[in-house]
Amino acid sequence: DAGVTQSPTHLIKTRGQQVTLRCSPKSGHDTVSWYQQALGQGPQFIFQYYEEEERQRGNFPDRFSGHQFPNYSSELNVNALLLGDSALYLCASSLGPGNTIYFGEGSWLTVV
């Protein structure tokens, strides 16, 4: 039973560039959420996708956008990267938008 898978695992980008992170949910799950975790802090909710629509959003600027595909996989896009965007980006999935989420291993983004 495949868990949540994310790609890439590590990447380095330059300030001002754009990045796309990808996520495949756990088998049988239809809802995807994205979190940002800075070093030494707890994860912060970015947004949730269900039925290919953004359903909930945290306190993140419009530079952060996403997409969910018909097969439930998802992408997180960040435009105009800032040094402060350096973090571990976590994807989590659940069966339904209100149920317990299960995390992937994350994508480490470093902005230089």
Partner 1 sequence: EDQVTQSPEALRLQEGESSSLNCSYTVSGLRGLFWYRQDPGKGPEFLFTLYSAGEEKEKERLKATLTKKESFLHITAPKPEDSATYLCAFGKGKAAGNKLTFGGGTRVLVKP
Interface with partner 1, residue 7, by CB under 8 A? no
Q: Is 105 in the site for partner 1 (CB under 8 A)?
A: yes
Q: Which of 7, 41, 79, 110 binds partner 1 (CB under 8 A)?
A: 41
Q: CA 47 → CA 13, 14, 32, distances in Å?
A: 22, 24, 9
Q: Which CB, 76 or 92, lies closer to partner 1?
A: 92
Residue reference for tokens 């992937």: 104
Q: Tell me the C-alpha distance between 26 and 6, whole Å.
A: 11
Question: CA-CA distances (angstroms) from residue 49 to 8, 16, 32, 92?
Answer: 20, 26, 5, 10
Binding to partner 1 by CB under 8 A, coded x per residue (else -) over 68-87, reads --------------------
- 106 forms part of the interface with partner 1 (CB under 8 A): yes
Binding residues for partner 1, rule: CB under 8 A, are: 4, 31, 33, 40-45, 48, 55-56, 58, 90, 92, 94, 97-106, 108
